[in-house]
Chains A and B, each alone.
Chain A
Amino acid sequence: MAQFTQNITTNGNEGYWAGSWFVNGSWWQTGRNGFGDDLYSAGRFTNVSVPYGATITSAYLKLYGYANESGDAFTRIYGIDEDNTVDLTSDPVSRPRTTAYTQWNFNVINLNQLYTIDITSLIQEIVNRAGWGSSNALAVIHVNDGTPTSNFRHFKNWHGDSSYPVGIEINYQLPAHLIEKSLTYRIVRPQTPLTKMLRYSIKDMETDPQPFSGLKVAKAGHNAVNAKLVESYKFHSGYNTLKYLLNGTFQLHVVNPPKNEYNVVGYVDHNLGYFPFAIVYAKDDLMANYQPLGRFQAGSGAYRQFYYYLTTTRLYFVVTGWSINGDDDYYVNFYYKLFRNNLGL
């Protein structure tokens, strides 16, 4: 069993709507105000260290009462149904929501009292998303569901009172493929200390393989029906792969650059509208072979560095160097591969 807990204590990760969206607002509120507005609040948790496919044994949203209030309130809590939801600087109301939700109806709220709301099902739905990965961000939204007018309710948050932040607690079991890796590690590293051996053994006992639906192609000598290591497969639909877009070459000609430090920049278009995964190799007249970038310095006495960077429409190539006389004349060849995988940055 493992646990993830976090309180929201950063800007851009909590807010509420009351006529307009107030990111970093000083409380969490829901219900319906005197104008008949349905109020809602949202909170985002980052670097959530729950791996894809984990079994959520329990999950709780934690709220502290803002004041002594009473009156019927009918609300729902949904998850934001995204792989890695962005911050809450903009109103999140139109983001897709999980099918699962928690119905939370209440009446009396007391000042500084902790309210622990079970959100297990909606957290499970998020970590079951194919694009979910450990350390992604998730968010929940707390909306009205029929509260009478003027029964709006407040809870504390970090921006209003740093002693009573909004929090989350997720208790989970590792998915079977990660547990199996622990077992393998134990076998191939027999010098592992006994304490670690015991820890892995405990994890092994927690193994509870989930039913599989998808496509698996096992390597020779491995059984696709019951092999659990990802390395046992040539293909496994439970794991993403790099999706190839295109490759090509590009040449930059450095000729009579400015004296001292210079940059020569070129680009190719990809026009994907997002930042894609890319790998680039480079070679100049001083190098015997192409080498991957990374910061790479070429030449003996001729100070040159080759780089690349990405925008949402282009892949840029950069040669930077230092010319004493401004009479340099050489070519740098780049070889690139672009993939469709969206970095989500």
Chain B
Amino acid sequence: MTQVVKVARSGKNAQTATDPNDFIFHSDYNTFKIVASGLYEPSIPANSPMTDYKVAHNLERVPLVVAFMREASLNEVVLASNFSPSSSSYLEFASVNADYTDVIFRIKNNHSTNAIVAHIRYFIFEVPL
């Protein structure tokens, strides 16, 4: 007999439910594991063109990465390649990607005189076998 570990959502019956979305955890389905996460806070020089900023990930493979950024002085967070319509926003967070050694953040600062700190939270996810 196949053995499983199932944790149903509130209001759902773990013994009879068949929809994967009815479970908080079900051992028949893989979970999207966060292998690592980190905070990276580069200071982006004033009036700088689109530039790559890198953080070593120490995984020696190309991981799946997701990153969000908050521009210093703003109380808004954007996913990479999204933006804020705020007139006080100067940073462009164009993309996040990775190679065998680094997580790479591509950022531009449109402020003519001030360097701005980019507060970035990034997540490195499992790449399933």
Contacts and interface: CB of A to CB of B under 8 A. Distances in A.
Interface of A: 46-47, 49, 51-52, 84, 133-137, 174, 178, 181-182, 185, 200, 217, 219, 229-236, 239-242, 263, 265, 275, 277-279, 293-295, 307-312, 316, 318, 320, 343-345
Interface residues of B, number: 47
Nearest to B2: A220
Q: Is the interface of A mostly helix, strand, loop or mixed?
A: mixed
Contacts of B123: 277
Contacts of B79: 278-279, 293-294, 308
B30 A47 contact: no
Contact of A309 (B35, B58, B59, B78): B78
A230 B25 CA distance: 17
Contacts of A294: 79-82
Interface in B110-129: 119, 121-123, 126-129
Contact of A343 (B32, B77, B80, B81): B77
A122 B41 CA distance: 24
Residue with the highest number of chain B CB atoms closer than 10 Å, among A185, A232, A239 = A239
B75 interface: yes
Contact of A219 (B30, B81, B119): B30
5 contacts: A51-B36, A231-B127, A235-B27, A240-B37, A344-B121
A137 B39 CA distance: 7
Nearest to A137: B39
A309 B83 contact: yes
Contacts of A242: 32, 34
Nearest to A320: B85
B49 interface: no
A318 B58 contact: no
A131 to B, nearest CB: 8
Contacts of B29: 234
B38 A234 contact: no
